């Protein structure tokens, strides 16, 4: 791998993503786990930047680090005494083996020529900007159906969330 | 758009994170530390502390957080549309109007059911 | 640069009319939200009625839109497909929802949890199912699947809103929570699979994947690996939704804990949505994914193994169940296995159409029969949760002869006895399997049907041949539930006795 800004960024963000992930599964403290999750999600946002999708990076930070992590923090603080998990993580060896096996399968499948040679795929020269994304969302040839369906979905989720969370006063 | 355009942003990120870490830890590094038991217990107006310092939050916070996520996602949908609004014309406006109209029904429900009230 | 069409151009060019059944239902539901909010005390009457009317409007629209039904037309430039497959399954979904709504009012009144939100969420979920059967793009599949699932999570936990700490409220809460976590988990698989398929083919559009896939395989590059893994993950994700072995673990707990009408609804619409997406993705898009020569799709063996496991496990575990809802849960796993047999048969080139038609007829028969069986179970359930065991229906034939008769017919149809709809469905599925060269799978299907007779007939034996402990069951159901049972019974018998009717209805269906 040649040493340029992108490859350095890739290494840095991989350290963030994987390190954060390891932090999430190893810490005993749920709140610290949330912080580690934020670190991991930040690394993913970095990937989006590397992939020339700055808007998605902003979405990643706004929605995942900004909103989802807050939600998890609240959820942790709603519970009584799980800020310190007492039980030991007993299935360390099997889960380690399972994830290693999965990693090896994926690694071999992607890099080894099982179905033929590795084709070096190059990113397309044109990069979709936020402007193109906006056009695609409402474009009749694009994503207008899932776009409008998403609004129905959000409305349903909102009704469901309010219904299930508020005190029942009929 | 190249990756190098993100240089200033990453510099800002690095500096702000470093600054936060420095401020948070400078007193620990530079100040003298002579802990005693009395100094280490949480301060509760001179009383001996009872129970853990972490309290449970009311469930209302959770509803606020969930609704915040939903509105956050709505904003995410609005943003790219707003960037290219002039190109999309009346048609784009209509599609977005339908989108908003559907969401307003959910908003009316939320308002009417007291999802926005704290009590 | 984007050229903005005028609204009139958009409506005509995009063939918006063919989306009418789904969009009308959504629009009606949103109106119903407002009606329920502002109707005051009268909402107890208006909201269920409005829900039924909305389903009726959508049904009529569906009849008009799909009247020609022969030609396949896409709407909105390939995102949405309006063919005979969509039209047929729309009708099945609408009838299933209508039956569930008819059952619900009674149940909710008895449990003291009658709220308008119930009907709104039910209708939204069904609209999601309708969009899912019409989805022609992996992104629409995903969004529609979420629209189908998220209301069902809430509905499964519906009893927990009356927070009296009772066992039923807790079970319902557990049911909703389990369903939600497993559902979110399976959605992640689905999205990851869709992403890999997109990575390999460069498109999420199902017909375009069909065009691109052979070139991807021929190129013999690592993209084939992404395509295969993506297909596997899509099968896993949708397999959770339709509850086939080994992705079935959540089903008994969720089905037992959820309110009975919700169980009835989710055992039908969620499966329809999942199988429709599986058929569209596997049969239409990925049937060209041939790794060995001989015209058999690469996923056929996997699907066959899943189908065989599902048939064996679902039917054998159902034998040991005492709780009727748990028994029907395992039976619904088994029935998913029969539809899986049809799906496996669709992997053989040339028999895709007959297998798809078999799956559709099976779904139709299963819908009527299963909803009817759940409606009968609901009538004998007590508010406190008792009365749902197999011993509680002992002597039902004496206390409620007509109800027992209806239940008998539903059990016969679930077993697949001739003159019931279940037989027609099973016959078409097994015929398709044999035609596709999957004789072994068909044999497993027939044998497990014989096994299933054991636990279905035990219900009948309990009702007719064993003496009741004395107390006669009072009539708990209202006229709405009776209508639900009547419609289900009529469907089961009409499609069973006039057996060419069902196959004629689906004769124009072709998705390959």
B42-52 pLDDT, tens digit per residue, is: 777 777 777 66
Asked if C225 lies within 8 A of A114 by C-beta distance, the reply is yes
User: pLDDT for C126-144, tens place per residue?
Assistant: 999 999 999 989 999 999 9
Q: What is the C-alpha separation between C144 and C388, in angstroms, rounded?
A: 33
Asked if A140 lies within 8 A of C140 by C-beta distance, the reply is no
Asked if B109 lies within 8 A of A138 by C-beta distance, the reply is no
CB B81 within 8 A of CB B92: yes
pLDDT at C365: 95
- In 3D space, the residue among A144, A150, B88 whose CA is nearest the CA of residue C19 turns out to be A144
> Which chains does chain C touch, 3 or more C-beta pairs < 8 A?
A, B
Whole-prediction pTM: 0.91
Provide the ipTM: 0.89
pLDDT at C93: 96
Asked if A74 lies within 8 A of B62 by C-beta distance, the reply is yes
Residue of C75, C221, C226, C233 to mutate for A, most A C-beta atoms under 10 A: C221
User: pLDDT for B58-78, tens place per residue?
Assistant: 777 888 888 889 999 998 999
Whether A165 contacts chain B with CB within 8 A: yes
Which CATH architecture does the domain made up of A1-86 adopt? Up-down Bundle (1.20)
Domain ranges of chain A: 1-86, 128-170
**CA-to-CA separations, C164 to C7, C73, C158, in angstroms, rounded:** 52, 52, 13
Asked if C77 lies within 8 A of A115 by C-beta distance, the reply is no
Q: Name the token pair of A71.
A: 């939600």
Which ranges of chain C have pLDDT less than 70? Answer: 1-4, 13, 67-77, 163, 165, 220, 290-294, 385-386, 468-477, 512
Domains of chain B: 3-112 (1.20.58.1610)
Residue of A145, A158, A160, A170 to mutate for B, most B C-beta atoms under 10 A: A158
> Which chains does chain B touch, 3 or more C-beta pairs < 8 A?
A, C
Contacts of A139 in chain C (CB under 8 A): 2
> Which chains does chain A touch, 3 or more C-beta pairs < 8 A?
B, C
When the pLDDT of each residue in chain B is averaged and rounded to a whole number, the result is: 84
pLDDT at B113: 86
**CA-to-CA separations, C449 to B81, C267, C334, C436, C457, in angstroms, rounded:** 55, 19, 9, 20, 12
C404, HSE (Cβ side, Cα atoms, 13 Å): 21
CB A161 within 8 A of CB B63: yes
User: pLDDT for A32-51, tens place per residue?
Assistant: 889 999 999 999 999 988 88
pLDDT at C512: 63
Find which of A77-81, A107-111, A125-129, C228-232 is predicted with most confidence, using mean pLDDT: C228-232
Q: What angle do CA C86, C342, C293 make, to 5 degrees?
A: 105
pLDDT at C379: 86
Residue of C4, C119, C120 to mutate for B, most B C-beta atoms under 10 A: C4
Strand C80-82 relative to strand C73-75: parallel, antiparallel, unpaired? antiparallel
CB C473 within 8 A of CB C399: yes
Contacts of C10 in chain A (CB under 8 A): 140
């Amino acid at each position: 791998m040649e040493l340029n800004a992108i490859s350095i960024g890739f290494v840095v963000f991989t350290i963030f993503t994987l390190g954060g992930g390891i932090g999430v599964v190893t810490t005993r403290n749920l709140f610290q786990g949330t912080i580690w999750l934020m670190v991991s999600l930040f690394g993913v946002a970095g990937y989006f930047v590397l992939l020339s999708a700055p808007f998605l990076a902003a979405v990643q930070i706004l929605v995942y680090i900004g909103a989802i992590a807050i939600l998890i923090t609240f959820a942790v603080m709603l519970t009584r005494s799980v800020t310190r998990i007492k039980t030991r993580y007993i299935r360390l060896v099997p889960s380690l083996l399972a994830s290693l096996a999965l990693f090896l399968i994926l690694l071999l499948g992607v890099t080894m020529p099982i179905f033929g040679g590795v084709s070096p795929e190059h990113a397309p020269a044109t990069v979709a900007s936020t402007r193109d994304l906006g056009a695609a969302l409402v474009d009749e040839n694009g994503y207008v159906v899932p776009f409008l369906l998403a609004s129905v979905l959000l409305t349903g989720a909102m009704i469901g969330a309010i219904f299930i969370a508020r005190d029942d006063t009929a | 758009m190249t990756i190098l355009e993100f240089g200033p942003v990453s510099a800002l990120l690095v500096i702000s994170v470093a600054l936060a870490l420095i401020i948070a830890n400078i007193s620990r590094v530079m100040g003298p530390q002579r802990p005693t038991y009395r100094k280490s217990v949480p301060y509760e107006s001179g009383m001996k502390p009872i129970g853990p310092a972490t309290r449970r939050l009311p469930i209302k916070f959770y509803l606020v957080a969930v609704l915040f996520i939903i509105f956050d996602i709505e904003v995410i949908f609005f943003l790219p549309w707003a960037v290219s609004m002039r190109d999309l014309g009346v048609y784009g406006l209509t599609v977005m109007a339908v989108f908003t109209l559907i969401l307003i029904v959910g908003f009316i429900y939320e308002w009417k059911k007291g999802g926005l009230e704290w009590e | 640069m984007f050229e903005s069409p005028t609204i009139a151009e958009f409506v005509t060019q995009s063939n918006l009319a063919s989306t009418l059944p789904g969009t009308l239902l959504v629009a009606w539901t949103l109106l119903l939200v407002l009606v329920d909010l502002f109707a005051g005390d009268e909402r107890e009457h208006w909201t269920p009625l409005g829900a039924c009317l909305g389903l009726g409007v959508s049904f009529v629209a569906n009849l008009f839109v799909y009247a020609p039904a022969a030609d396949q037309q896409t709407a909105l430039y390939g995102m949405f497909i309006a063919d005979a497959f969509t039209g047929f399954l729309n009708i099945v979904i609408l009838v299933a929802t209508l039956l569930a709504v008819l059952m619900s009012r009674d149940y909710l009144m008895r449990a003291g949890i009658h709220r308008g939100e119930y009907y709104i969420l039910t209708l939204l979920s069904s609209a999601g199912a309708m969009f899912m059967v019409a989805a022609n793009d992996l992104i629409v599949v995903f969004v529609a699947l979420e629209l189908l699932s998220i209301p069902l999570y809430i509905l499964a936990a519906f009893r927990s809103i009356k927070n009296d700490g009772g066992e039923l409220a807790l079970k319902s809460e557990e049911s909703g929570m389990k369903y939600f976590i497993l559902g979110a988990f399976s959605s992640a698989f689905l999205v990851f699979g869709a992403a890999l398929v997109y990575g390999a083919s460069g498109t999420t559009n199902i017909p375009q994947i069909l065009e691109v896939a052979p070139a991807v395989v021929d190129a013999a590059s690592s993209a084939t690996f992404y395509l295969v893994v993506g297909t596997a993950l899509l099968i896993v994700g949708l397999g959770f939704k339709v509850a086939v072995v080994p992705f079935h673990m959540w089903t008994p707990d969720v089905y037992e804990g959820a309110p009975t009408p919700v169980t009835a609804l989710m055992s039908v619409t969620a499966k329809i949505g999942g199988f429709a997406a599986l058929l569209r993705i596997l049969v239409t898009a990925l049937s060209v994914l041939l790794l060995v020569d001989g015209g058999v799709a690469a996923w056929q063996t996997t699907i066959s193994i899943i189908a065989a496991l599902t048939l064996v496990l679902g039917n054998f575990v159902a034998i040991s169940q005492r709780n009727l809802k748990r028994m029907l849960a395992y039976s619904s796993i088994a029935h998913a296995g029969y539809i899986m047999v049809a799906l496996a048969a669709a992997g053989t080139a040339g028999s895709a159409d007959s297998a798809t038609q078999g799956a559709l007829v099976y779904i139709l028969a299963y819908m009527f029969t299963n909803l009817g069986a759940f409606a009968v179970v609901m009538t004998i359930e007590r508010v406190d949760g008792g009365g749902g065991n197999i011993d509680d229906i002992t002597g039902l034939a004496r206390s409620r002869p007509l109800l027992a008769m209806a239940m008998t017919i539903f059990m016969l149809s679930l077993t697949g006895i001739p003159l019931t709809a279940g037989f027609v469905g099973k016959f078409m599925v097994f015929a398709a399997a044999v035609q596709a060269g999957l004789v072994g799978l068909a044999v497993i299907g027939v044998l497990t049907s014989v096994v299933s007779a054991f636990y279905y007939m035990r219900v009948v034996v309990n009702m007719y041949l064993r003496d009741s402990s004395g107390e006669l069951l009072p009539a708990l159901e209202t006229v709405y539930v009776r209508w639900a049972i009547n419609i289900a019974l009529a469907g089961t018998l009409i499609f069973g006795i006039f057996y060419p009717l069902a196959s004629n209805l689906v004769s124009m269906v072709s998705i390959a």
